[in-house]
Structure 1
């Protein structure tokens, strides 16, 4: 039973592992909102869901003034110089991708008190982003934006404009959130459920069928046992019988000695038992308690039952016999028709004789 249930369990384990693995590919977008005062002394605001949180980033809200590193825009080195520190108002470092790892860029800004780090992609990449991995730099908000958005903010900052940035959590994305992936999971769940139900129905139906066949077979055997019991010899013990005169003679079923007047049943193996003791035993077991002799086989009850299915006579089979100079048709089921003179068909045997002589040489 345990081996039969392995395929559904393995399929469930496979699906659960598949869902678990897909969770590692989930990524979260970031909402990026910037605001600044333009040359016309008007406040402009821009909003887009164009950021992508790093794998080890905090997914919390962060805000501050956008600050560029002095000199190298990529923010590499042991101590990149920013024009702000921990005592400054909240600020966000904006650095370019390249030259060093994401972790080094993020840690350099984090040591100087940045509220968040925004990495913009390399030149020529448009607005594409990647899922940054920075396991050595956590406990800070770190996102990546496209090169186009990044360069636009860099131009504003280099023109002396203070750019306020607010980063907030966007939407989760991944294979398991894709529409087709949901369809696949739904279909897989339906298939597993349907297979489990079908397997349960099959096992239940098979068990019920086996129980039904067992009961039917037991009922048939009891019916045959009743017929066999009726054919057994039944005696009433009298004074002087060997069974009543010996204390060692006793019924093997009830373990009591025989007495005058007891009604006993003699089995086909010549063993004797009380009639009231042996009949219930034979109905259930159909064998002698002492020698295990099968009364159904001994009395031919099973053989009679098998013969009842073949009551029709076998079909006529015709053979051809060779006698003398001719061939005759003889029905096999008609033993009285062996006389060739009584046959209706006669075949010329001369060709057969010529072949026989040629074979003898």
Structure 2
């Protein structure tokens, strides 16, 4: 169901293109004639016809038949002479004096397999894409005047001419070779531009990632050297840290034992050497007091490319029904330590005194 919904806009767009291009797209017709002249069979074939706009684009064949009287085949009483025993026949009429639909319907009513309209005098072998909206369901093509007059003369003189009308090639602005070349070039240009753009973006991203990775590696290398300069201690049985279970490493949460090697930070807090070194490379700060140890050692963090705009500090106000706000607590990030922000600001002095007394 989801795929059908995705295809629906594409199909609607495609149907719109087909509908809009129907008026400019046309099919040529291959015209083949055979007749006997001086005991010799003459065969001619050319892609010189054009299917009408309302004509089925299919094959048709039969003996060429002329209308009696007016060669234009107009009127409701147009009668075609049938001197051949060949069952299928094609009407040959001249353009002019009435609409294309009238000519085609007159032949269609009498059982013609197709209608061939040849152009007016003086047009040589030029043709047009004729419209006959009121006469459909029968093959109808137009040929040039010179070709049509030649066939008309042969039939008029008693020569039996057999004709085959076949489907030729599509023509129109989107079928022309010139347009195909333009579309092909445009397609390759757009494709090449897209590939170049994405290649540039990818290369730029890879370059930035490599630069950041090199900076990170350099910073980590300097941090390792700085951490190696921190003083180390090997705990003894007489040390305060080993004599009491209250002293423990804040990283691994284990008590200190005799022989443990500890690192003394710039804030004078101690931790297991194997625990604190990975911690400082990742967190930079003391696990207990949040002091920036790396900055104290001269290792500054790389500045970010863009810093977010600092938003106003949010506070939560706790109220009692029927009374004023008791206190407000800033909503800060627990991982960022700021002694001033960690203090609660009380609006009630009595509550503040009780709290200070409780802490005392």
Distance 1:245 1:302, change over 3 A: same
Q: What is the CA–CA distance in structure 1 between the aligned matches of 2:265 and 2:73, rounded to whole Å?
A: 106
Aligned to 1:33: 32
- State the 1:118 CA deviation: 0.9
For the residue of structure 1 that corresponds to 2:207, the secondary structure is helix
Aligned to 2:107: 109
1:127-166 alignment, distance < 5 Å = 127-134=125-132, 137-166=135-164
Q: What is the CA–CA distance in structure 2 between the aligned matches of 1:84 and 1:93, rounded to whole Å?
A: 11
CA contact (8 A) 1:225 1:286 kept: no
Q: What is the CA–CA distance in structure 2 between the aligned matches of 1:59 and 1:113, rounded to whole Å?
A: 18
170-179 or 17-26, which deviates more: 17-26
Residue 299 of structure 2 corresponds to residue 298 of structure 1: no
Aligned to 2:314: none
For the residue of structure 1 that corresponds to 2:127, the secondary structure is coil
- State the 1:145 CA deviation: 0.7
Residue 186 of structure 2 corresponds to residue 198 of structure 1: no
Distance 1:82 1:287, change over 3 A: farther
Q: What is the CA–CA distance in structure 1 between the aligned matches of 2:19 and 2:251, rounded to whole Å?
A: 66
Residue 206 of structure 2 corresponds to residue 208 of structure 1: yes
252-261 or 276-285, which deviates more: 252-261
Distance 1:212 1:19, change over 3 A: farther
CA contact (8 A) 2:63 2:86 kept: no
Aligned to 1:277: 275
Q: TM-score, normalised by structure 1?
A: 0.63
Q: What is the CA–CA distance in structure 2 between the aligned matches of 1:274 and 1:236, rounded to whole Å?
A: 10
Q: What is the CA–CA distance in structure 1 between the aligned matches of 2:96 and 2:117, rounded to whole Å?
A: 10
Aligned to 1:187: 185
Q: Deviations over 1:112-165 (max 9, x none)?
A: 321111122244433211223456655543211123322333344444544332
- State the 1:172 CA deviation: 4.3
For the residue of structure 2 that corresponds to 1:132, the secondary structure is coil
Gaps of at least 5 residues in structure 2 are 1-12, 303-360
Q: What is the CA–CA distance in structure 2 between the aligned matches of 1:258 and 1:267, rounded to whole Å?
A: 16
1:1-361 alignment, distance < 5 Å = 25-36=24-35, 45-70=43-68, 73-76=71-74, 80-83=78-81, 89-98=87-96, 102-103=100-101, 105-134=103-132, 137-175=135-173, 178-239=176-237, 243-244=241-242, 247-290=245-288, 292-302=290-300
Q: What is the CA–CA distance in structure 2 between the aligned matches of 1:104 and 1:250, rounded to whole Å?
A: 108
Q: What is the CA–CA distance in structure 2 between the aligned matches of 1:247 and 1:77, rounded to whole Å?
A: 120
- Runs of 4+ aligned residues of structure 1 deviating over 6 Å after TM superposition are 17-24
Q: What is the CA–CA distance in structure 2 between the aligned matches of 1:229 and 1:290, rounded to whole Å?
A: 17
Q: What is the CA–CA distance in structure 2 between the aligned matches of 1:288 and 1:219, rounded to whole Å?
A: 22
Gaps of at least 5 residues in structure 1 are 1-13, 306-361
CA contact (8 A) 1:23 1:174 kept: no
Q: Deviations over 1:37-56 (max 9, x none)?
A: 56x77765544332112345
Q: What is the CA–CA distance in structure 1 between the aligned matches of 2:286 and 2:134, rounded to whole Å?
A: 85
How many residues are matched? Answer: 287
- State the 1:34 CA deviation: 3.1
Q: What is the CA–CA distance in structure 2 between the aligned matches of 1:249 and 1:75, rounded to whole Å?
A: 117
For the residue of structure 1 that corresponds to 2:128, the secondary structure is coil
Q: What is the CA–CA distance in structure 2 between the aligned matches of 1:174 and 1:155, rounded to whole Å?
A: 33
Distance 1:104 1:269, change over 3 A: farther
Distance 1:97 1:257, change over 3 A: farther
Q: CA RMSD in A?
A: 4.0
Q: What is the CA–CA distance in structure 2 between the aligned matches of 1:23 and 1:293, rounded to whole Å?
A: 77
Q: TM-score, normalised by structure 2?
A: 0.63
- State the 1:108 CA deviation: 4.2
CA contact (8 A) 1:23 1:176 kept: no
